[in-house]
Chain A
């Protein structure tokens, strides 16, 4: 089988007035956790609806496991689990009833894995479906989707409403799935969780992909940035004059150092001779990267 499991080519769905998605090209490889990030209304959900075959693209297509999303949607669903962005359950009484009915749809007869997820998320499925809080509903939806143990997971903002502890548990679940070699496509607007589990990230803005980057680069940068604060201005000057690193003097007794990973050893050797009051690594987060890409896009658009 092909290495690419989810692929969109020139996917376009125009809702008019600049809303919709335009010429989206995404490819997700087997076993990959793919993050899909963007502001509200940027087209994340529309993309996912196209992938699931709920809406028909105006142009282009979306293919999962070699099957066209629109025409073969029911066959695709044999291998795909989906957590919708908007949680609305069928008119059933309790969570248990809902999960059982969902198991019948999926043909699940072995509830071991389902119970494992329920335990992990600390969900009480016996509660009344309509009275559930947002977080409870979200957990129930996650359990309903994941119990099929499908190869591909498509999650539309799966962590909304979850408290930080549960979010951590959920991310643990995603890591488990990844361990099994399952492919995961998740959208979110929360950078931390994408950063925590994803291998690659696509950023979407106003229906266009503005950046696709590998988080490996982000986690293992080739250059590192430090802010070093010296006890005396004198020392700072001395350091700035002698060092072989690229240095920006920021404040009186601090400076910003950029060095490659290989130079790290040298840097610390040099620093041994100085008395330092503070050392801080500047971590380039996904959020910063996103903001940068976002702003770049804005200025480009502004110049047009």
Chain B
């Protein structure tokens, strides 16, 4: 029988079939981990967002304190025992009405039970309990108009607090910054540049090794190359696999993430999420290309593994350390700005999460564009070097 099979020059379908068969379980397992990680993270972030409401309550706080102050004055004057707790019990409305009426008449104020209730309701919007406000008022009231024994300056609560913290060795600046930090941005940074990347990094290190170097090392590549299949076809087929698999996986994770975001939040910035995952795909492909190149350059599995795995681990670690140099971490006191340098030593540093997250919002920061272009260039160069080298080197088969 004369086989009239044509020589496969650029793509080999049977090889693709074989590669898929050999690797699909691993890909699925990693995909599962990625979906789990992405969505649990998303859920956690949504919880955090609801806990810390941004409602501005300063106005209500002021009026609440005014009422409390008025009540305190009235109590000493009229030998009464009125308080917020009592008022919120709601059984003694008349007493308050009389109290407010009397105070209005005396000091020309505009107090009313409705006004008090409004202040209470307004203050309740913040996630700090009203009892805390009452307690703080107690301190303010107790310290009222006292002055220092030596410097004769007015003593305030906030000054006392700053002093106490300084004594404990905690910078009061930091405490202030801590309240300004943006936990959502930090979680984003953590997910997109570290935790979300780890599973897929592991996958591509294993995949790139098993697609080329391991088959050459073990000798099973001989069964492919002893058929009318050019080496370029092998190189390109495996490259296509490494381009498509991360794409599909990231696409699925992205889709589930958009889905759960709709569940957890009222507003969803779909273009922003797409941009973040798109950037992640480009980053992953750049690392993929490096691992692929290692796999093509080395005929020994362990060398290729050391090259690809070493680089991936380095990128991951450097971006973790670099994260401790990010503004958010520095603000919380967990980081030092000098660690920022690690972000320049890893490809992950070219994946600018903060500027990508602005896509779809009013003010788009385009700083991510050139960084992603660098990653694309890295990917193209490494894939090309790998494929060309594989087509020309000696194979111990």
Contacts and interface: CB of A to CB of B under 8 A. Distances in A.
A82 interface: yes
A55 B394 contact: yes
Nearest to A145: B226
Interface in A36-68: 49, 52, 54-56
Given A56-B394, A84-B222, A90 B18 contact: yes
A91 interface: yes
Contacts of A52: 225-226, 397
A105 B227 contact: yes
Interface residues of B, number: 37
B225 A107 contact: no
B17 A101 contact: yes
B219 A84 contact: yes
Contacts of A93: 21
Contacts of B88: none
State which size class the interface on A falls in. 35 or more
Nearest to A77: B228
Interface stretch (B5-13, B60-68, B99-107): B5-13
Contacts of B150: none
B226 A82 contact: yes
B397 A89 contact: no
Contact of A105 (B12, B219, B230): B12
A105 B224 contact: yes
B387 to A, nearest CB: 15
A92 B15 CA distance: 12
B223 A90 contact: yes
A88 B227 contact: no
B228 A90 contact: no
A48 B71 CA distance: 102
A163 B247 CA distance: 49
Nearest to A80: B226
A92 B230 CA distance: 22
Contact of A74 (B9, B17, B394): B9
Given A49-B396, A75-B7, A104 B228 contact: no
Nearest to B7: A74
B3 A107 contact: yes
Interface string A78-115: 10111010111111110001000110111110100100
B149 interface: no
Contacts of B4: 107
Interface string B164-183: 00000000000000000000
Interface in B200-220: 210, 215, 218-220
B125 interface: no
Contact of B228 (A74, A92, A144): A74
A54 B3 contact: no
Contacts of A77: 7, 225-229
B55 interface: no
A82 B12 contact: no
Interface of A: 49, 52, 54-56, 73-75, 77-78, 80-82, 84, 86-93, 97, 101-102, 104-108, 110, 113, 144-145, 148-150
Interface of B: 1, 3-5, 7-9, 12-15, 17-18, 21-23, 210, 215, 218-220, 222-231, 233, 392, 394-397
